[in-house]
Structure 1
Amino acid sequence: MFSVDRRVLALAIARMADSAGNSFLIIVLPLYITSGVITGNSFGLTATAITGIVLSLFGFLNSFTQPFAGYLSDKSERRKVFILLGLGILAVTNFSFSLASSYPALVAIRAVQGIGVAFTIPCTIALVNDLASDENRGGNMGVFNTFRLLGFGAGPIAAGALVHNGPYTVAGIHMTGFESAFYIASLGALISFALVTLLVSDPEQADAEAADDFSITILGSRGGLDPIFTLALASLFMAISIALISTLETTINRRLGQNELWFGIEFAAFVLAQVALQTPIGRATDRYGRKQFIVAGLVLLIPATVVQGFVGTPVEMLIARLVQGVAGALVFAPALALAGDIARKGQSGTQLSLLTMAFGLGTAIGPLSSGFLVKFGFQVPFEVGGVLAALGAALVYTQVEETVTKPPDARPTPQD
């Protein structure tokens, strides 16, 4: 029978709150930078270049810090304190954006935020893994990711409305649309902080063997690639493929004869498919195995990505993004669950952080690569994304072994 640990559910709701608040910034920061509020020395760069630096800086610092954060949580055998540290930094930096008036201050705040959030992500995933069992790990990962994506999808919509409808006066306090968005983003982190403080506790660590040195295992014990490293590569390739359209909004709108609303719907379609399917797919992997879902998702990702370079109408792009969302749902939660099955006790923070780091890097590399590759033709970024998805499928198929050998509720038959 499928069940979710109360602490996992609390972590999921907390992650939804801080994801909503943090995803506000995807919409708000580019508008804030070009609004005229930020002044001073821009180091000779345009506002567009500064925007790119601010957005990418978070992704890269966040991704590269995650393995260290996971390692520290393994060594201390404590997850909760690091999660709270990251949420506290997120709350303070979200509020600090409302006080920033120069480009250097904005860049510094975003850099601190990227490092701070790096403590929350791998430690939360590791704690979900610690609290789950082999029989329900896929379902728990699915529930966690469903709530996270709900927050991530709702945040930009709410942020756009807040900025557009501002300014506001609340309890006699006047605030602009930008300030209100930063305050609500900070509030989301504080709500998460309170939920984790009150409802989450670290599990008892029995015979945990944390690694004495920080290292990433690339080669497996039997030759070939390490399975967790392979799953991280597959997550990287998937994230690059799904993020390709981010930089191409203007080109896609012109090519398909659509407006910004259509692009927003197409962009959100991926998230909606993920929200609908993460939990049932995660539960299915507990019963039927994980590897086959991951391989199927990566195979499905190939046509779903390539076709985006050839579609001719908004509806066709919408369908392609929905299928891409299905593919992503088949990969992400099952990959985390499979890696959790393999991870050595006391080292799940370090090892699972490889997957979260890879996904974060992919979402940063995808937009950068599509902006470069589109010069060679509109179809080229999506064709490259398809090749990466195929490579990921081949790697998982050949380098990763199944961890679920039999349905957890299976009963012996007379033939057994």
Structure 2
Amino acid sequence: MIGDTDGRVIALGLARMADALGNSFLIIVLPLYIASGQVSLGGLVGGDLFGVAVGEELLIGFVLSLFGFVNSFGQPFTGRLSDRLGKRKSFVLFGLVLFAIGSVAYPFLTDYWAVLVARGFQGIGAAFTVPATVALVNDYARSDSERGGNFGVFNTFRLIGFGFGPIVAGVVIRFGPYPTPFGLLSGFDAAFGVAVAGAIVSFLLVYAVVNDPPTLDAEAGDDLSVRILERSGPGRFDSVFVLGVATFFMAMTIALFAPLEAPIRARLNEGTFLFSVQFAAVVIANVLLQIPIGSASDTYGRRPFLLAGFVILVPAVFAQGVVSTPLTMLVARLLQGVAVALVFAPSLALAGDLAREGQSGSTLSVLTMAFGLGVAVGPLTAGFLYNAGRLSTPFTFGAVAALVALVLVYTQVRESLPTDADSGATPLGED
């Protein structure tokens, strides 16, 4: 499939791989950097926030979650603006510059609030980069029958960067400091340098290979609201809105696992290595399956894969709260990865099918915003529900959310492509 893919899509995928590697670096590095004592917490630890004692973990959680919130809430604005201006490449490049500036700043920041601002600044950069990038992948599809394949290739490269970033980050920090002609370079500074390098590589790839496809004048308008009800059926939810809700629930279930490392390891009596393998299992399954599933959705339709994904997601998430051995946890995580792969590329492709000419940035930003919000909300949800109940509570909640997503997709999302069974049907959005 890769050999038949537009070279610009591959370039965007490689750019996002380098960028995702740098961002996942920071997900691992920033908590360690703050906990190392090199960042002053200014007496914040031990305070009170709405009746909750402020600890170092909570402050680290704010830093990590801020990126997701700023990124997600900014995407509807930047996605629509990229539609109106028709300059998606410029948005991607500008966002990468902002991300690189934030990474360069970290070694010079010694105050918690300054680190928080830098991470928020990077969130703004991602808000410019993400919707414009997925809109370009959508725009490069020469027909609906190759859109799923495009997103499968793109997501595969992105997930490789995101999945292997934490491993490389651990190695870089572990073997620091490093001698240089200018003195020793600490492991933290080297890690921040890798994040900067990832942004630079992404910038050069996009600048050299990617171009804005010719489009019609966009009818984006000034309304930034998300359409909730389907215009053709009173009381029926809009398919893209439902996909956004379902994507939010899916992303939230992905983010439940990592914050519960200590209680999971204690229950399964396992070490850090086994936990890291279980954590990576979701990403590995996605890397292996994104391209074939994306391509298959071009042939057999989007909806069957979405439904199959959420059917598998429900028991896979629930099982993580009740399994008692490392092997069964690994199986549950692999099944969750299969479920996410079944949903990810087909949902983006379906939203791209429904997007009007010149409005793919606005339409696809609904899904990318929802995914970012889910990833940001997931860790907070996991911590709160674990403290309120037991280890199984967050995963039971996640399974219920996945079940709600399944019902919504089954009842509210129609197929966007004509299939062999309904070859005479008109694709949704063109009636």
Q: Could you say which residue in structure 2 is the equivalent of 1:62?
A: 71
1:219 aligns with 2:253: no
SS in 2 for 1:169: strand
1:127 and 1:271 map into 2 onto residues whose CA distance is 23
Deviations 1:191-232 (A, max 9, x none): 100100010000001354333422210111113111000000
For the Cα contact (< 8 Å) 1:210–1:345, is it kept in 2? no
Amino acid at match of 1:316: T
Deviations 1:72-104 (A, max 9, x none): 101111100000010001111111111111111
1:333 and 1:146 map into 2 onto residues whose CA distance is 10
For the Cα contact (< 8 Å) 2:94–2:128, is it kept in 1? yes
1:23 aligns with 2:32: no
Amino acid at match of 1:216: V
Q: Could you say which residue in structure 2 is the equivalent of 1:34?
A: 35
1:262 and 1:347 map into 2 onto residues whose CA distance is 44
1:253 and 1:405 map into 2 onto residues whose CA distance is 47
Q: Could you say which residue in structure 1 is the equivalent of 2:414?
A: 401
Amino acid at match of 1:156: P
Q: Could you say which residue in structure 2 is the equivalent of 1:189?
A: 199
Q: Could you say which residue in structure 2 is the equivalent of 1:6?
A: 7
Please state how far the C-alpha of 1:394 moved relative to its aligned partner: 1.0
1:287 and 1:42 map into 2 onto residues whose CA distance is 59
TM (norm. structure 2) is 0.92
Distance 1:379 1:136, change over 3 A: same
1:363 and 1:146 map into 2 onto residues whose CA distance is 18
1:206 and 1:47 map into 2 onto residues whose CA distance is 51
1:250 and 1:43 map into 2 onto residues whose CA distance is 24
Question: What pairs with 1:191-270 in structure 2 (closer than 5 Å)?
Answer: 191-221=201-231, 222-223=233-234, 224-270=236-282
Q: Could you say which residue in structure 2 is the equivalent of 1:384?
A: 397
Residue of 80, 84, 87 corresponding to 2:96: 87
**Which sits farther off after the overlay, 382-391 or 323-332?**
382-391
Question: What pairs with 1:61-140 in structure 2 (closer than 5 Å)?
Answer: 61-132=70-141, 133-140=143-150
Please state how far the C-alpha of 1:331 moved relative to its aligned partner: 0.3
For the Cα contact (< 8 Å) 1:42–1:103, is it kept in 2? no
Q: Could you say which residue in structure 2 is the equivalent of 1:286?
A: 298
1:199 and 1:347 map into 2 onto residues whose CA distance is 23
For the Cα contact (< 8 Å) 2:84–2:217, is it kept in 1? no
For the Cα contact (< 8 Å) 2:220–2:362, is it kept in 1? no
Deviations 1:258-285 (A, max 9, x none): 1111111100000000000000000000
Amino acid at match of 2:348: L
Q: Could you say which residue in structure 1 is the equivalent of 2:167?
A: 157
Q: Could you say which residue in structure 1 is the equivalent of 2:428?
A: none
1:403 and 1:49 map into 2 onto residues whose CA distance is 43
1:29 and 1:385 map into 2 onto residues whose CA distance is 27
TM (norm. structure 1) is 0.95
Identity %: 53
Deviations 1:116-158 (A, max 9, x none): 1111011100111111121100000000000000000111100
Q: Could you say which residue in structure 2 is the equivalent of 1:274?
A: 286
2:219 and 2:8 map into 1 onto residues whose CA distance is 23
For the Cα contact (< 8 Å) 1:16–1:152, is it kept in 2? yes
Matched length: 408
Deviations 1:168-212 (A, max 9, x none): 013444210000000111011001001000100000013543334
Query: Which runs of 5 or more structure 1 residues have no equivalent in the other structure?
Result: 411-416
**Which sits farther off after the overlay, 205-214 or 20-29?**
205-214
Amino acid at match of 2:290: Q
Q: Could you say which residue in structure 1 is the equivalent of 2:313?
A: 301
For the Cα contact (< 8 Å) 1:211–1:347, is it kept in 2? no
Please state how far the C-alpha of 1:316 moved relative to its aligned partner: 0.5
Please state how far the C-alpha of 1:18 moved relative to its aligned partner: 0.6
For the Cα contact (< 8 Å) 1:241–1:305, is it kept in 2? yes
Please state how far the C-alpha of 1:368 moved relative to its aligned partner: 1.0
Amino acid at match of 2:219: E
SS in 2 for 1:174: strand
**RMSD over aligned Cα atoms:** 1.4
SS in 1 for 2:304: helix
1:169 aligns with 2:179: yes
Q: Could you say which residue in structure 2 is the equivalent of 1:43?
A: 44
For the Cα contact (< 8 Å) 1:33–1:51, is it kept in 2? yes
Query: Which runs of 5 or more structure 2 residues have no equivalent in the other structure?
Result: 46-53, 424-431
Amino acid at match of 1:123: A
Distance 1:42 1:49, change over 3 A: farther
2:43 and 2:93 map into 1 onto residues whose CA distance is 34
Q: Could you say which residue in structure 1 is the equivalent of 2:61?
A: 52
Amino acid at match of 2:165: G
1:110 and 1:406 map into 2 onto residues whose CA distance is 45
2:73 and 2:137 map into 1 onto residues whose CA distance is 21
Q: Could you say which residue in structure 2 is the equivalent of 1:414?
A: none
1:205 and 1:153 map into 2 onto residues whose CA distance is 34
2:256 and 2:104 map into 1 onto residues whose CA distance is 30
For the Cα contact (< 8 Å) 1:24–1:155, is it kept in 2? yes
SS in 1 for 2:179: strand
1:215 and 1:52 map into 2 onto residues whose CA distance is 29
Amino acid at match of 1:372: F
Please state how far the C-alpha of 1:377 moved relative to its aligned partner: 2.3
**Which sits farther off after the overlay, 345-354 or 142-151?**
345-354
SS in 2 for 1:178: helix
Amino acid at match of 1:167: P
Deviations 1:287-346 (A, max 9, x none): 000011001101110010111111010011001000000000000110000000001112
